[in-house]
Amino acid sequence: MTTFTTADGITIAHDVQGDGPPVLLLHGFPQTRAMWHAIAPQLAQHFTVVTADLRGYGASTKPAQIEDMSFRHMAADQRLLMQHLGFDHFHLVGHDRGARTAHRMALDSPETILSLTLMDIVPTHLLLDALTQQVARAYYHWFFLAQPAPFPETLIGHDPNAYFESCLAGWGGGMDTFDADALAAYRSSWRDPECIRTMCNDYRAAIDVDFDLDAADLGRTVDCPALILYGADGIMGQAYDVAATWADRLTNMQAVGLPGGHFFPDTHPEETTKAIAEFLKSQT
């Protein structure tokens, strides 16, 4: 593990491997950069692969305020990290919260992004603005975690493994489909009370900060080549025509459904790697 600290004092834990065009991989909730354990080494045969913990997650800084956990701040951290590593332009891949961070980075710093891969999300503003009963029931955590502190933190803190493993199993399949070492890394992170707090603030910021930022950008598009991947058996794949939700936001897009639920990068890494690699190679 290597760390980089921004001028604002945010330390981002990350790993770098491989050689070739740069690719930044961003994880989601409730995970860490360990989610790329099976994917990054394969991509590193052709690319310089950077895997990083988002602020508030893993070994990165846990900032104090709700607004500190906005996708805009998360995106700025990662752009500065890549510049620090010598990459002014790079391919960007994100899953879940990492994908939302990636979309925000592509809006805020389009000149830096060579291609954009978003995995198993629909646009944040769309999900919140046109919320359906089906999605509200399945993605209840968006609203539980966003409750005022310390209510969700207290309940989760009673048994973090039970809560967060219910998320993994509920959206992605049985716990036996997750790699043991990756699970150990996730558990080590989410047992930290500070990490629980910042993950809750992530979801608070999505409603209190990110929704308005996205509303202001509804007329804008991302024009770099983009790939949308989604779990064919997952909640997003069942509740939405995922590709259609991005059609007015990404002007150069392709979409592919992959086996599994929300956590297909963990549970189906070979298929995920193949889809990402084929897309990236077509852009280089």
Q: What does DSSP assign to residue 6?
A: -
φ/ψ of residue 53, rounded to 5: -80, 130
Q: Any alpha helices (H) in 133-179, and if so which ranges?
A: 133-138, 141-144, 151-158, 160-172
Angle between helices 71-84 and 97-108 in degrees, nearest 10: 70
Q: Alpha carbon 57 to chain centroid distance?
A: 11
> Which amino acids are annotated catalytic?
96, 262
| Burial (Cβ within 10 Å: 0-12, 13-18, ≥19) of residue 47 | buried
Distance of alpha carbon 273 from alpha carbon 284, whole angstroms = 16
DSSP-derived pairing of the beta strands 90-95 and 2-5: unpaired
Query: What is the identity of the amino acid at 59?
Result: A
Q: Is residue 221 classed as helix, strand or coil in its secondary structure?
A: coil
Say if CB 78 and CB 26 are below 8 A apart: yes
Q: Which two tokens stand for residue 10?
A: 């945010």
For residues 206 and 78, what is the distance between their CA atoms, to the nearest angstrom?
18
Q: Note whether 60 and 11 are within 8 A (CB).
A: yes
Q: What angle do CA 70, 38, 235 make, to 5 degrees?
A: 55
